[in-house]
Amino acid sequence: MEAKSFKRLPKHIGIIPDGNRRWAESHNKEKHEGYSYGINPGFELYNLCIHFGIQEMTFYGFTQDNTKRPAVQTKAFQNACVEAVMKLAHRDANLLVIGNTKSPLFPKELLPFANKRVQFGKGLININFLVNYGWQWDLSSNASKSIPRIDLIIRWGGRRRLSGFLPIQSVYADIYVIDDLWPDFKKDHLYEALSWYQEQDITLGG
Amino acid sequence: MEAKSFKRLPKHIGIIPDGNRRWAESHNKEKHEGYSYGINPGFELYNLCIHFGIQEMTFYGFTQDNTKRPAVQTKAFQNACVEAVMKLAHRDANLLVIGNTKSPLFPKELLPFANKRVQFGKGLININFLVNYGWQWDLSSNASKSIPRIDLIIRWGGRRRLSGFLPIQSVYADIYVIDDLWPDFKKDHLYEALSWYQEQDITLGG
């Protein structure tokens, strides 16, 4: 499918990749094992978005709320975030990691990419990655000020809510929910979301 | 239908009553004529929520964004908001109007109810009404600090977005979208939304 198949594409897509634990359970694995199956879907989606000429994507890595989960899960999603960034370093993106770096829950491997944009390869797309992010922390520190308004949020895993995802950038976003769990990502999910998005009228509240 | 039909009810429901202008056009009326048809649905919904024992509702009246519309529309939704409050004054509610009162776009008839809660009759339910509300104005002034977290947001008119509705209180809200336009409100809409809500798991991001 080509970009020209769509009459209007979002400039900035927010990604809420929910459902890793439910996917693990449904595959007879421990909940924490689900996170590692969420890495490849992110790269499939990244490739597709570059193909379509999407300018910017923001991925919900993990939040300060999430770190209240059992330690084995917290460790697993921290590791998955580090692995994702190490893989991205071999691709073509401008990475910005946003999150509370003052907490030990922020993976120290990601400090070099925090709060400043780092170019990898040809820098074909802006990728923002929320790591140890908290909406209250963000609102009080204006931490995400360099992330622009989001046009389309796609959430996997069936839940119809934002769960604290960038409250300021999300005020006018169109929200598309996919019932399939994130590790079950397939190209058609993005096509569906983009097809739906092009039919929405953009009023910015006006 | 009784409250006991539901195993779990939201304490605080947010209402985005969208679609008045589209409804007017589909009934061979001028767009601005639609707003007056949005008042009675609000009272039907108010009655049902008292019946179910809902503790608090927040209605999206109009926003600072909305006032960029043609003057005849702005006048019409201002009038509809005033009429709604004058009717509510004969019912049993604790009303709090939140909005920028320093602008001439805030209807002066509503000044007595702005930024403080006023009891009508037996005060059976808290009703918050956003009038000349702006999300940026709210975030910069902390104007809505007395409005608590929202559990369930119901939006009429098919659009899947928040359009600046109380960004802080909405961070964890479950969002239910009804395709019918607001003036076509019927009881089943609320039943559907409550039935769906009771099946959601509440994690508050955890």
From B159, B200, B204, residue closest to A65, measured CB to CB: B204
Question: Among B163, B174, B206, whose Cβ lies nearest the Cβ of A65?
Answer: B206
Which tens digits make up the pLDDT trace of A120-167?
999 999 999 999 999 999 999 999 999 999 999 999 999 999 999 999
pLDDT of A203 strictly over 90: no
* Complex ipTM: 0.96
Residue from the list A66, A172, A177 with its beta carbon closest to the beta carbon of B163: A172
Residue B188 pLDDT > 90? yes
Predicted structure pTM score: 0.97
What does the pLDDT read at residue A119? Answer: 98
**How many Cβ atoms are within 10 Å of A140's Cβ, its own excluded?**
9
Q: Inter-chain contact A171–B159, Cβ cutoff 8 Å?
A: no
A60 falls in which pLDDT band (50, 70, 90)? very high
Asked if residue A189 lies in contact with residue A180, where contact means CB atoms within 8 angstroms, the answer is: yes
In the prediction, which pLDDT does A3 show? 82
Interface contact B205-A69, CB threshold 8 A? no
Question: How far apart (Å, rounded) are the C-alpha atoms in residues A27 and A117?
Answer: 37
Per the CB < 8 Å rule, is B159 touching A200? Answer: yes
List phi, psi (to 5°) of A120: -110, 130
Rounded-to-integer distance, Cα A35 and Cα A38, Å? 5
Q: In chain B, which ranges are continuous DSSP H helix?
A: 20-26, 39-52, 71-88, 135-141, 187-197
Mean pLDDT score, B182-190 = 98
Residue B197's closest chain A neighbor by CA?
A: A160
Query: Average pLDDT of chain A?
Result: 97
Which residues on B lie below 8 Å from A63 (Cβ)? 205
pLDDT over 90, % of chain A: 95
